[in-house]
Structure 1
């Protein structure tokens, strides 16, 4: 997934400068579910600082769920759900690949209801392309289209792509305390 990341901050004299400009270093296009992809844009396990980080903040297979006060920025491209019903789809291989690249999200998934999960975070999302359905644990659902925004307050939910085209959503997850 080709997502450009521009990082701006301050140099040692306090002057605003571009610190980096390029493709995010950790993204993955799923081999076992074509059309599914993610790009890890930024990650702070704890409360972020304005200091220039000493090293890359993301990793290929580290957590995406931050601790309370932390933040995570990820862009997800959802493949159409119908692809999982096609002949030749191997759910075990797709699940293993998902677990390899998003292990904390894989652990949060409900084994009885595919895709359903709950995170200890307040999540902010915006649909960048396509359409996606947000399904809640209560059974309620709503269709979201390009430009629509989501604020998810740690509720049990799943993302469903009922269309025949990929849907792309950008999320900022903020670690939260139970409240």
Structure 2
């Protein structure tokens, strides 16, 4: 077997380490979740009204990672204020990782790990897709430890559908089911989906300052 190229897809894959790429892609019966997003705002007369109502516009179903769907629903910077400007903040956000004091609202559907093991999986094409769709986040993944990454954020996560596993340092794993909640305080981690169905998780990332240890 040829050695694996160090691409963004390999860094970001939720494939368990040392798993061969020879397994066949498993099909899933669960339909990928479609979410409605409603954004409210104050009009020039200081009356509350609707800015937008519909699907999350900045949402991508990956071509080269079947079943992997990422949505950036909203974002704020450190100087967020109200009344807000009448614009789609998600569309104008350059990074999926907020600056200190900023926030990002993400919804991510994780396909089964078997997707990354399929003969059809092209890591180079998937890597390019990850880098293009997830600026600011793709480069946080470790090339030598698939899926492991660290961000200077406080992350609030809620499992909307399916089940998923959080891996921490030392190989410690915690299983999460539907409606379970996780709070991560800048910890190094990876998300694994060893099952046969996709898992959808909502995340709120709050940008933070990382203090020196000790």
Same fold by TM-score greater than 0.5: yes
Say which structure, 1 or 2, has more relative contact order (CA 8 Å, 6+ apart). Answer: 2
- Would you say 1:39 and 2:71 are equivalent positions? yes
Count the aligned residue pairs. Answer: 179
**Worse-matched range after superposition: 157-166 or 54-63:** 54-63
1:10 is matched with which residue? 42
Partner of 2:206: 174
RMSD: 1.6
Query: What TM-score comes out, normalization by structure 2 length?
Result: 0.79
CA contact (8 A) 2:152 2:186 kept: yes
Where do 5+ consecutive residues of structure 1 fail to align? none
Q: Structure 1, residues 40-68: CA drift from partner, whole Å, max 9, x if none?
A: 10011324222222422123883111111
Q: Which has the higher strand share?
A: 1
2:83 alignment partner in structure 1: 51
- Match of residue 51, structure 2, among 6, 19, 22: 19
SS in 1 for 2:136: helix
Three-state SS of the structure 1 residue aligned to 2:41 is strand
Query: What is the TM-score of this pair, normalised by structure 1?
Result: 0.94
Structure label with greater radius of gyration: 2
Please point out which of 142, 146, 162 is paired with 1:110.
142
User: Residues 143-166 of structure 1: CA distance to partner in whole angstroms, max 9, x if unpaired?
Assistant: 001000010100000000111111
Correspondence for 2:165: 133
**Equivalents in 1 of 2:81, 2:113: separation in Å?**
38
SS of residue paired to 1:43: strand
One of 108, 121, 127 as aligned partner of 1:89: 121
Do the aligned partners of 1:135 and 1:157 also contact (CA within 8 Å) in 2? yes
The CA distance in 2 between the partners of 1:60 and 1:15, in whole Å, is: 25
